Amino acid sequence: MVLPECALCFGTEGGWATLAEPDLTEPGNASAQAPMQRALSELAAEFGLCLVAGTLPILAEDGRAYAASLVYGPDGARLGRYDKIHLFDVDVEDDTGRYRESTHTHPGRGITVVDTPLGRLGLAVCYDVRFPELFRALAEQGADLIALPAAFTEPTGEAHWDTLVRARAIENQCYLLAAGQQGQHANGRRTWGHTMVVDPWGRILAQLPQGEGVVSAEIDREEMARIRHRLPALKHRRMP
* Domains of the chain, first to last: 16-235 (3.60.110.10)
21, 126, 154, 174: the catalytic one is 126
pLDDT truncated to tens, each residue of the chain (240 aa)?
999 999 998 876 667 889 999 999 999 999 999 999 999 999 999 999 999 999 999 999 999 999 999 999 999 999 999 999 999 999 999 989 999 999 999 999 999 999 999 999 999 999 999 999 999 999 999 999 999 999 999 999 999 999 999 999 999 999 999 999 999 988 888 999 999 999 999 999 999 998 999 999 999 999 999 999 999 999 999 988
CA 168 to each of CA 153, 162, 209: distance values in angstroms, whole numbers, following the listed order: 19, 10, 19
Catalytic residue among 84, 101, 154, 174: 84
Tell how strand 175-180 and strand 145-150 pair up: parallel
Residue 126 designated active-site? yes
Q: What is the pTM of this model?
A: 0.96
Instruction: Give Cα separations from 42 to 38, 132, 200 (angstroms).
Output: 6, 34, 32
